A and B are shown apart, each in its own frame.
Chain A
Amino acid sequence: MTAQRILELLDGRLLLGELPEEEIHSACGSDMMSDVLAFPKERMVLLTGLTNAHVMRTCEMLDVLLVVFVRGKIPGPDVLAEAEKRDIVVMATPYTLYEACGRLYSNGLPSGVSTQEGRCGEWVQSH
């Protein structure tokens, strides 16, 4: 899926950078950066409601092409500065995380999790 198509499907607003021309292959939706780090994927878009600088640092480690902030959240200038330093393209959408992910998934953008049918494998018991 192209970044342009993502912008259209999410009624998005481009906040920083230019839409990448390369095809985006996978997506992840989470406010938990620990979980994002646990499932790296190729050519990924990250959808999140978390608007701190660690989102950009996490994206740098994973080579994330595009970050979409959900629920109309516009990050502060410090967060955008962190994105700019790392050449990360940033977009905002008025949709909730659930709705935004659903729009992309139902239009053919997979999760990219390599295990069967997008499942993550083992059950994880919290302590």
Chain B
Amino acid sequence: MGAITLKESYPVEAGDFSTAGEASGKIKRVLKKLGIDSAIVRRVAVAAYEVELNLVIHSMGGHMDLIVEPDYLQLNVHDRGPGIPDVDLAMREGYSTASDDVRTMGFGAGMGLPNMRRNANDFSIRSTVGVGTDIEMGFKL
């Protein structure tokens, strides 16, 4: 771990589809400005967008923290519940509890969590029902 280049926090409101993606868009622009390789920026942006959508669709709100170090980038996400009863099931491609409304908007295919894991170099998830979910993603720069 090196010196921190940048640390920012982005709040995400529950159920607010009209702004879903704005935090991820900001993160992408910040990383581009820092001159990070475009392929890595895209991987972070996709993972950030997936997790932001999850917060909007499934959570009671939360925040995304971006920490950039010279050779490593962390995206740490915390929400205020409701928590995931079976994390292993939620990590399976194709598993989704999203509503039909969400599906008509083009999401809810059950690809979000697996896609985050696929894009990040390091991925961990902890969830407690009634408390909330923490997702930590790490990207080598």
A interface list, Cβ under 8 A from B: 31-35, 37-38, 40, 50, 52, 54-55, 57-58, 60-63, 122, 124-127
User: CB < 8 Å: which of A52, A60, A63, A125 contacts B105?
Assistant: A52
Confirm or deny: B127 has a beta carbon within 8 angstroms of a beta carbon on chain A.
no
Known: A58-B21, A126-B94. 13 other contacts (CB 8 A): A31-B106, A32-B107, A32-B109, A34-B109, A38-B111, A38-B114, A50-B105, A57-B20, A57-B21, A57-B49, A62-B42, A63-B42, A124-B94
- B88-112 interface code vs A (CB 8 A; 1 in, 0 out): 0100111110000000011111111
How many chain B residues have a CB neighbour from A under 8 Å? Answer: 31
- Contacting residues, chain B, for A38 (C-beta < 8 A): 109, 111, 114-115, 118
Report the Cα distance A124→B89, complex, angstroms: 13
- B106/A61 in contact, CB under 8 A: no
Q: How many pairs of A and B residues are in contact by the CB < 8 Å rule?
A: 82
- B110-127 interface code vs A (CB 8 A; 1 in, 0 out): 111011001000000000
B interface list, Cβ under 8 A from A: 17, 20-21, 24-25, 28, 38, 42-43, 45-46, 48-50, 89, 92-96, 105-112, 114-115, 118
Distance in angstroms from A72 CB to nearest chain B CB is: 19
